[in-house]
Amino acid sequence: MTSEQLNADLLKNFSPLDGLKRDNLAALARKVQLRELSPGQVLFKEGDTEKRTFYIASGILELIDQGKVVETIEGGTDPARNPVSPIFPRRFSARARDNVKFISIDADLLDVMLTWDQTGTYEVSELQGKGDDGGDDWMTMLLQTKAFHKIPPANIQAIFMRMQQINYNADDVVLKQGAEGDYFYVLTRGAAIVTRETPLSKEGIKLAELHVGDTFGEEALISDAKRNATVTMTADGSVMRLGKDDFKKLLNEPMLDWVDTDQAARIIQAGGQWLDVRLPSEFENHHLDGAINIPLYFIRLKISTLDKDKKYIVCCDTGRRSSAGAYILNERGYQAYVLRGGINKEQ
């Protein structure tokens, strides 16, 4: 199976993509590819539940029910304007009769983009400062994260409406370790570095590099604590920021899944993993059996060591730090739950 990048003009041949605003259609075109099937190759099988939206650009695709061809879809015809067998689980299998070129789009991403496009009162370009090199990539990156799909469409509209753009020069400090948390940030242009000052390193330990589409600042907002790291621009750029109250109401609350002790135990028994985000000294003093320890301020640095196929129950002493940790995991595509009340609460 081969693939190639496509342009917005091709996407306009399909419904409901033809209804997207120009900038949003162009943003979607950068996220999908034109793929190819050889004769006899299967696109999907009956009963398939993977949430992908398919369009046929050229060639003939056969829909098969119990071994019989019940329908054919030929690229360039009216039936091909619509998604192929859009109901989940799939009612038919789909097989290429000849060389078929098709478009595959994450169905959740498409749904979120359509909702945003139709409920928004302006185009993506109006959220960008003129001349921004970052374009709308930051926005489509947010919209395509699995965690963002938990957020109600009305919230999505409100989030982008209430964000403010701030420009920075290289070496400017966006937020300082020890300061009060007041905003959630999305890097929309340029690059930045996250550092944490320690007694042994006044210059700061490097925790992460930030690029367009990356978010930061959520830990202090969720836990009502001071900033646990400093973010410094390494190139000229800009951010979009969302105030603390708006962040908690519109983003944080819909994104977190809370569980009690019994619910957590069932997840653990089914193969889940306790993830303790307290300091190592706290963890060594007392922790749940089988738990692993990644301190909250290290979670961005260590997140790649976690398994995206595993469910994590994030815990701390009260639930405050663990809710911040679970938010970060969920935002980056991991399956994370928060232990309600923490491990110090009598369950």
Element (H, E) at 210: strand 201-210
**Which CATH code for domain 3-106?**
2.60.120.10
User: What is the structure's pLDDT at 94?
Assistant: 97
Give catalytic status of residue 315 as yes or no: no
- Fold observed for domain 256-339: Oxidized Rhodanese; domain 1 (3.40.250)
* The two structure tokens encoding residue 309: 């196929």
* Same fold: 3-106 with 120-252: yes
Contact 198, 177 (CB under 8 A): no
User: What is the structure's pLDDT at 332?
Assistant: 84
* The two structure tokens encoding residue 243: 């105030």
Interatomic CA distance for residues 307 and 175, integer angstroms: 30
Per-residue pLDDT of the chain (347 residues; tens, 9 = 90+): 444 557 788 999 999 988 888 877 887 888 788 999 999 999 999 999 888 999 999 999 999 999 999 999 999 999 999 999 988 899 999 999 999 999 999 887 787 777 666 655 434 444 444 334 445 567 777 776 666 777 776 787 788 788 899 999 999 999 999 999 899 999 989 999 999 988 777 777 888 899 988 889 988 888 888 898 999 999 999 999 999 999 888 888 888 889 999 999 999 999 999 999 998 989 999 899 999 999 988 888 899 999 999 999 999 988 888 988 898 898 888 999 999 999 976 54
Looking at domain 120-252, which of 3.40.50.1860, 2.60.120.10, 2.40.10.10, 3.90.920.10 is its CATH number? 2.60.120.10
Q: Which of 316, 324, 336, 343 is flagged as catalytic?
A: 316
Instruction: Map out the domains of the chain as residue ranges.
Output: 3-106, 120-252, 256-339
SS3 state of residue 101: strand
Alpha carbon 335 to its chain's center: 12
